[in-house]
Amino acid sequence: MTSLNQIAESIVANNRGILAADESTPTIGKRFAGINVENNEENRRAYREMLFTTEGAEDYIGGVILFDETLRQSTADGTRFADLLSSKGVHPGIKVDMGAKPLAGAAGETCTEGLDGLRARLEEYSKLGAKFAKWRAVITIGDGIPSDYCLDVNAHALARYSALCQEAGIVPIVEPEVIMDGEHSLEDCMEVTRRALTAQFAALDTQRVALDGILLKPNMVVAGSNCATRPSHDEVADATVALFKECVPTAVPGIVFLSGGLSEEDATANLSAMNARHKDLPWKLSFSYGRALQQAALKAWVGETANLDAGRAAYAHRAKMNSLACSGTYASELETA
């Protein structure tokens, strides 16, 4: 799995991370609605082109996750997005799951679907230039949940997807996300994340997935969005790193955290605290952010051609801040420097 390992390591090398630009058509529609932009194919294409043509972003971004439509699109001058990214040394990736659906026999829980026909889709995506892929499981903390049943079926699906990706020469991003929604404490999140990761790595082992050819995309250990007690960045960092030392094998090249509803600056500060406070870790701690990289760019752009440079500047700034977080050198004062 040398080539897979090389791709995985290069994505997170030199304090780089991942831009998650894989919003489905309905999801990007919600983002556009917030800035009064019509959700049509040309606007989606133009917005992604703005991000992908940002000069210097490749210094901070090692991979970009694309949606099926986006992988097939091109810049206004006819350059395929996958080719554009590759020319900058940025690996194109692809979202391959079909979303979380209600889990039969488990009220309030979901299982992510999309395994049917995945082998053939991965073969096509590889020909289109995809070097890595993403599959997200959604795990909710609530009254009596998540069940072991929910954790096991999602871990199995993620492991099956991972094995198929590696068969196709594509690096799988493994994303078992314990979502922030709820009133649970940081300690509750830590325990559920421990259960999720334990189930996940057992499933990956069973299905013969080479751990040096994956990237793990987990949640940080945080309190629920409605929890009255808000842990500090240092508390989040210490709890997260302690748990991952316990649960994540050293063979994994990188951990690319999701932002999961955190604000742009909180996501950056948490990651920086991890890297500043904890040295000599066996894996790179980096980022795979969607909204936490894009929100400022969306607001600066608002669908206007005249604002493309402003949108690019906003995106480049957030990418740079998160790259600094990978080295533990981010500081809030840099936001206005």
Active site residues: 175, 217
Give helix 291-301 / helix 25-33 axis angle, nearest 10°: 50
Q: Phi and psi (nearest 5°) for 72?
A: -90, -5
Q: Phi and psi (nearest 5°) for 113?
A: -105, 165
Closest CA to 60 of 6, 11, 94: 11
* Residue type (1 letter), 106: A
| 157, 118 Cβ separation under 8 angstroms | no
The SS3 of residue 2 is helix
Closest CA to 21 of 59, 88, 73, 56: 73
**DSSP character string of 88-138:** TT-EEEEE----EEEPTT-TT-EEE---TTHHHHHHHHHHTT--EEEEEEE
